[in-house]
Structure 1
Amino acid sequence: MPRTGDPSRAVPGPAPDALDFTLDRGSPVPLYHQLAQQLEAAIEHGGLAPGDLLGNEIDLSARLGLSRPTVRQAIRSLVDKGLLVRRRGVGTQVVHSQVKRPLELSSLYDDLESAGQEPATHVVRNERVPAAADVAAALGMPEGAEVTLLERLRSTHGQPLAHLRNYLPPALPEFDTARLEATGLYRLLRAAGVTLHSARQTIGARSATPEEAALLAERTGAALLTMRRTAYDDTGRAVEYGTHVYRASRYAFDFRLLVRP
């Protein structure tokens, strides 16, 4: 089995049938695109797990009965999506599947954990600050009033995924950094007796600033998804205002649309 780094540690490989793909050579869909789609599906559904080694282009070409340019183009498209990485002297390795989050009032931490994505949190700031105009308007308080700012970096499988800023009104309890790094904010709010009821949310997109790129291991100008959310409890009180950015290469919102009768 191929090895890298520590010679005593084996690099995992895919299950024997994980690369048993069926490609339609008579289809108008290019073979590289068919291969990329099936590789992506195998990653998303767990047939190919993070860390699995696919081998180099020569190995894959021989195994799949395809030309090297076809395999190279398929791999390049998944490297661009952040699902695969090329490692010198090792070959192509699975990094992770893209996180697809349902569009509902839920915690990112809870969604990642339920999807087996191994969430981890680093608290950058946990302090009282004066509310800027947008924060004050969202929380229904005077501009300049004191609020709690929680700034966190959320990662999965050791890779940064999201930069989160959440603002809490002073009436809510303070949460220490250790608890914030051990679990999700909404769990802590529920444990403190807050009943989350509804939210207003806006989703957008923009390019990464140099500071965001450094935090999220992206290049400056890379695509980021943005989210602004104000959450309310069962009395209609605003209990949290969040401004979040997510790596578009690793994250997507997933929701159903119904036709109005």
Structure 2
Amino acid sequence: MDRASPVPLYFQLAQQLQAAIENGALTPGTLLGNEIELATRLGLSRPTVRQAIRTLVDKGLLVRRRGVGTQVVHSGVRRPLELSSLYDDLEASGQQPATRVLADRLEAASAEVAAALGVAEGTEVRCLERLRTAHGEPLAHLRNHLPATLLDADAARLAETGLYRLLRATGLTLHSARQTVGARAAGPAEAELLGERPGAPLLTMERTTFDATGRAVEFGSHLYRASRYSFEFQLLARG
């Protein structure tokens, strides 16, 4: 801790703990002890430790358990904006992804889906709905529409790995995507599915993915828990 810094000590502690959680030094389930133990161990006041812990509890990284102390729950997911699948990003960061297939059906393309995939409205397309979890906790509700004959994968295969990995296994080259990120409040059904309260903030993402020939091969409409998930941007100054 830099006691001469204008940055409050509680914030410095919160940043250090968050970094340790995100880089895996503090793994899910790790016990940090109670506030008195932490304050003594770190040479800080109890109010300083309490405020740092509250900051990380509010972010969903720590939880207080009566009779146990403060425990690491999980690290938040910070995902770079690049053409990758959520499953692969979670797996690469040691987040233990798993998938529950909610729906796998053929349906008539709505106007929105048809425009994204470049087909006529009413064309038969394949709709996939999945619940993606990390460390056993709900993270995202994924809805994808694809051309009906593009992918031959059953629910078991869809539950084992990511959609992009399956598409690439067919010989498809995923070249580029157009993506929109937003936010809205969770409805009752969405909140129940994602383990949030109704009205909790959710991140939204719509993505149309194109192959090397410029053909639209997938339109995704996804919901993410804002308490556990964020997008990471790299911005460059104009020359």
- Structure 2 length normalisation: TM-score? 0.96
Is 1:113 paired with 2:80?
no
Deviations 1:25-72 (A, max 9, x none): 233222211111111111112221111000111211211122222211
- What amino acid sits opposite 2:166 in the alignment? L
**Alignment pair present for 1:89 and 2:67:** yes
The separation in 2 between residues aligned to 1:50 and 1:173, in whole angstroms, is 36
Equivalent position SS for 1:100: strand
2:189 corresponds to which letter in structure 1? E
Q: Deviations over 1:92-111 (max 9, x none)?
A: 10011111111111111111
Alignment RMSD: 1.2
Give the letter aligned to residue 133 of structure 1. Answer: A
Cα distance in 2 between the residues matched to 1:119 and 1:193 = 24
1:210 is aligned to 2:188: yes
Counterpart in 2 of 1:243? 221
- Secondary structure of 2:138 counterpart: strand
Question: Can you list the C-alpha shifts for 1:214-245, whole angstroms capped at 9, x where unaligned?
Answer: 11111111121111000011111111000011
Q: Which runs of 5+ in 1 are unaligned?
A: 1-22
Output aligned runs, 1:141-152, within 5 Å.
141-152=119-130
Aligned partner letter, 1:260: R
Query: For the residues of structure 1 that align with 2:24 and 2:164, how far apart are their CA atoms?
Result: 28
Query: Structure 1: how far apart are the matches of 2:5 and 2:177?
Result: 46
- What is the aligned counterpart of 1:130 among 93, 108, 118? 108
2-structure distance, mates of 1:69, 1:220: 32
What SS does structure 2 have at the residue aligned with 1:124? strand
Q: How does 1:19-98 map to 2 (within 5 A)?
A: 23-98=1-76
Report the AA paired with residue 61 of structure 2. L
Write out per-residue CA displacement over residues 3-41 of structure 1, whole angstroms, 9 at most, x where no aligned residue.
xxxxxxxxxxxxxxxxxxxx2223322221111111111
Alpha-carbon distance, 1:248 to partner: 1.3
Partners of 2:216 and 2:142 lie apart in 1 by 18
Equivalent position to 2:160, from 182, 188, 196: 182
Counting matched residue pairs gives 239
Residue identity in the other structure for 2:150: L
Aligned-residue offset at 1:114: 1.1
Which consecutive aligned stretches of 4+ in structure 1 deviate over 4 angstroms post-superposition? none
Counterpart in the other structure of 1:10: none
Provide the identity percentage. Answer: 72
How is 1:148-187 mapped onto 2 (pairs within 5 angstroms)? 148-187=126-165
Q: What displacement does 1:173 show?
A: 2.7
Match of 1:228 in 2: 206
Q: Which amino acid aligns with 2:232?
A: D
Helix, strand or coil for the counterpart of 2:56?
helix
Query: SS at 1:188's partner residue?
Result: helix
* Mapped partners of 2:195, 2:227: distance in 1: 11
The SS at the match of 2:54 is helix
